[in-house]
Amino acid sequence: MARRGRLLSLAAVLATLLGSLGVTLLLGQGRAEAHGVAMMPGSRTYLCQLDAKTGTGALDPTNPACQAALDESGATALYNWFAVLDSNAGGRGAGYVPDGTLCSAGDRSPYDFSGYNAARADWPRTHLTSGATIPVQYSNWAAHPGDFRVYLTKPGWSPTSELGWDDLELIQTETNPPQQGSPGTDGGHYYWDLALPSGRSGNALIFMQWVRSDSQENFFSCSDIVFDGGNGEVTGIRGSGGTPDPDPTPTPTDPTTPPPTHSGSCMAVYSVENSWGGGFQGSVEVMNHGTEPLNGWAVRWQPGSGTTLGGVWNGSLSSGTDGTVTVRNVDHNRVIPPDGSVTFGFTATSTGNDFPADSIGCVTP
């Protein structure tokens, strides 16, 4: 992650220098990565981002485990809560993903999720009933065919112990489940029924591995649960005591300007690459998850309170009267091939709210 930040920082400097000479720097087009994680029962990253979200775009967890993970892994990982992935896993599990790193995709994700491996008993958790059948929801931030392997920790496992493969038993494999909601939205998800084993009580963990059938890419998800007669209630997050809304009401904006949505196969992922007192450098990866080339793109978001964008490279910036910003393609990166991506970067001044105040998404160019 640090290396990626240094490379993008160098790219920004080169872009500025070459731009002053009338030369354009082209960043290479990459392969688009899919994204997804368990929403019910909620994974550590999913519930921690619900706990941490504020109306200003700042992340302020109330749960101590979520705060510790944020301190260790940084805000970029939590903002990309749906990207606990390994691009080359190819269905491999035990013997490939080391014990103690299951909740961070073996530390092979493009983001640092190592903080979410912590063996502690105060993670947000979902309350369930042993022997019941529950409706599983798994984010379809980018939709792809494949199998969902569902594991449950064995009786006697303790959340204060490192999670290893020997702690798990496979209880279900679900292939190509149906979807509800649109890919690339907070609430869009796959869904299916899961029959929980009988005779269980106390703390446990559900681990899921999504094995894509059209790629070597796999996703990993750790959901802390407790068998106590519950019906899906969540505790340990901001305002908990019930089930969290998977698609919370966004911060109000000008009603004449609709909020950004993911347009068709286009998807945008926001990252903070470097920060300093009073400012930061960010990047946005624009992905094409469709089967046809994407000819022209635009990305819109509402910057966090006190944030003002400055220079942009590999994109053209415009600002709306409602405070939103839109970055459109330039000539050299107008077309994104199927399963491909392009990245634009920017610098900004900031009072500390480096992330968007609401969702970021593709809009009509």
Same domain, 279 and 217: no
Alpha-carbon span 312 to 121, nearest angstrom: 43
> Confidence class of residue 187 from pLDDT cuts 50, 70 and 90?
low
Average pLDDT of the residues of the chain = 81
Do 279 and 213 have their domain in common? no
Query: Which tokens hold the place of 172?
Result: 């279900």
Indicate the SS3 state at residue 79: helix
For residue 293, what are the β-bridge partners? none
Q: Is there a single domain that holds both residue 169 and residue 131?
A: yes
The one-letter amino acid at 43: S
* Per-residue pLDDT at 246: 41
Task: Tell me the C-alpha distance between 230 and 226, whole Å.
Answer: 8
What mean pLDDT is predicted for residues 198-214?
93
Residues 6+ apart with CB under 8 A from 188: 139, 140, 141, 179, 180, 181, 182
Per-residue 3-state assignment (H helix, E strand, C coil) for 44-67: HHHHHHHHHECCCCCECCCCHHHH
Given pLDDT bands bounded at 50, 70 and 90, which one contains residue 27?
A: very low
**According to the model, what pLDDT value does residue 250 have?**
36
Same domain, 305 and 350: yes
Domain that holds residue 343: 2-31+255-363
- Who wins on pLDDT, 101 or 6? 101
Residues 216 and 352 in one domain: no
| Residue scoring higher pLDDT (136 or 252) | 136
Residue 351 confidence (pLDDT): 87
Residue 178: inside a domain: yes
The CATH number assigned to the domain holding 315 equals 2.60.40.290
* Whether residue 172 sits in one domain with residue 112: yes
CATH number of the domain at 73, please.
Answer: 2.70.50.50
The verdict on residue 248 lying in a domain is no
Q: Are residues 223 and 337 in the same domain?
A: no
Query: Counting Cβ atoms within 10 Å, is residue 145 exposed (0-12), middle (13-18) or buried (19+)?
Result: exposed
What is residue 264's predicted lDDT score, i.e. its pLDDT? 52
Residue 276: band (very low, low, confident or very high) from pLDDT cuts 50, 70, 90: confident
Q: Is the pTM of this model over 0.85?
A: no
- Rounded to an integer, the average pLDDT of 342-359 is 86
122 confidence band (pLDDT: 50, 70, 90): very high
Q: Is the domain of 78 the same as that of 122?
A: yes
pLDDT tens sequence across 233-249: 899 998 764 444 444 33
**Does the pLDDT at position 207 exceed 90?**
yes
The answer, yes or no, to whether residue 17 has pLDDT greater than 50, is: no
For the cut 80, the answer to whether the pLDDT of residue 24 exceeds it is no
| 158 part of a folded domain | yes
Q: Is the pLDDT of residue 18 over 60?
A: no
18 lies in the same domain as 43 = no
Residue 242 forms part of a structural domain? no
**Both 173 and 279 in a single domain?**
no
Please check whether residue 149 lies inside any domain of the structure.
yes
Based on the domain organization, do 144 and 45 belong to the same domain?
A: yes
Q: In this predicted model, what pLDDT tens digit does every residue of 163-184 receive, in sequence order?
A: 999 999 999 999 998 888 655 5
Pair (101, 216) in one structural domain: yes
**Which of 182, 202, 235 is the endpoint of a domain?**
235
- Count how many domains the chain has: 2
pLDDT at 260: 41
